[in-house]
Homo-oligomer: A and B are copies of this chain.
């Protein structure tokens, strides 16, 4: 069991029942989620001690959000309380030819307006092993970018392994801004997760022969990109999920990884139907961190891709799949026979 810290935003998620549209709904299902919180929850389910660092408004909505983290075993001691609001995202879950739709209302959230005084990273990182963040956190505000950098400096000082999920969000910043903020942070990163599009828009890489909008993905092209990325940034591990989007409810799912100069291609899963794909990438990150901490590289990748494949069958941002269930899938049990 390791001690793992993640830093980022957690939001209130409001979504119509089933596949209804927002304009049709007079009730919203409520849950809470956000990239780095999702990673912490998964890792907690895998048996690690996890600490989520953020700032959360001090009202009933904030309280409900914290309860959700507590219920999933995430430590909230380093979550600052205060500020104006919890960010919100509305999720319309699509089906078949109709894509899912995310509508953000996250500006002016407590974390976006937090300052470096809200966090004492030397205390936070004491006796911890791993620090994970994503490209979303520094995109929230200039202050959050500063906080992220400070966290990285302290994490390295304290000897933690650092992972990042590049996760480009065009609603939060431009590619130019992203590159100017994120490139300098890469020197602190050991494990880099992100697809070709993220590498392009967040780090300025121009990949060739890879089109993430196509159904088919060129794995060799990924090998090339990863080798270049490793050369430039010195990442120890680089990984990316490969999503084939056949429809809103039918995806292919696999992943690739470069580690120790070895390139791994995972098993491929056919996910049909998808129940909720939000948080799929986060569950991969969590699976990979768990895998790298406890398994061989090859098994780590297989664990990560199976964990995130299962996430697509679970409602909400959080991956409620257990290690046993994930391992059963890794072993090839995709038959879906009733477990009694």
The residues of A with any CB-CB pair to B shorter than 8 Å are 14, 18-31, 59-61, 63-64, 67-68, 70-73, 84-85, 88, 90, 92, 94-105, 107-108, 169-171, 213, 215, 245-251, 269, 271-275, 277-278, 309-310, 312-316, 320-321, 325, 329, 334-340
Q: Which residue of B lies closest to A328 (CB)?
A: B99
* In contact, A31 and B26 (Cβ under 8 angstroms): yes
How far in angstroms is the closest Cβ of chain B from A71?
4
* In contact, B18 and A315 (Cβ under 8 angstroms): yes
Closest 4 CB pairs of A and B: A248-B336, A245-B335, A71-B71, A98-B313
Q: How far is the CA of A148 from the CA of B90 in the complex (A)?
A: 32
* In contact, A30 and B28 (Cβ under 8 angstroms): yes
Q: Which residue of B lies closest to A68 (CB)?
A: B71
15 A-B contacts (beta carbon < 8 Å): A24-B316, A26-B29, A27-B27, A27-B29, A60-B90, A70-B71, A96-B271, A97-B269, A98-B321, A99-B335, A101-B340, A246-B336, A247-B335, A249-B336, A273-B273
Q: How far is the CA of A247 from the CA of B215 in the complex (A)?
A: 22
B residues within 8 A CB of A88?
A: 88
B residues within 8 A CB of A99?
A: 335-339
B residues within 8 A CB of A325?
A: 98
* In contact, B336 and A245 (Cβ under 8 angstroms): yes
How far in angstroms is the closest Cβ of chain B from A159?
28
How far in angstroms is the closest Cβ of chain B from A83?
11
Q: How far is the CA of A171 from the CA of B338 in the complex (A)?
A: 13
How far in angstroms is the closest Cβ of chain B from A34?
14
Q: Which residue of B lies closest to A316 (CB)?
A: B24
Q: Which of B27, B71, B84, B271 sits near A28, CB closer than 8 Å? A: B27
Q: Which of B18, B25, B97 sits near A309, CB closer than 8 Å? A: B97
Q: Which of B73, B275, B340 sits near A95, CB closer than 8 Å? A: B275
Q: Which residue of B lies closest to A278 (CB)?
A: B338
B residues within 8 A CB of A71?
A: 67-68, 70-71
Q: How far is the CA of A103 from the CA of B23 in the complex (A)?
A: 23
Known: A97-B336, A99-B337. A84 touches B60 (CB 8 A): no
Q: Which of B21, B246, B277, B336 sits near A98, CB closer than 8 Å? A: B336
* In contact, A30 and B25 (Cβ under 8 angstroms): yes
* In contact, A18 and B21 (Cβ under 8 angstroms): no
* In contact, B340 and A98 (Cβ under 8 angstroms): no
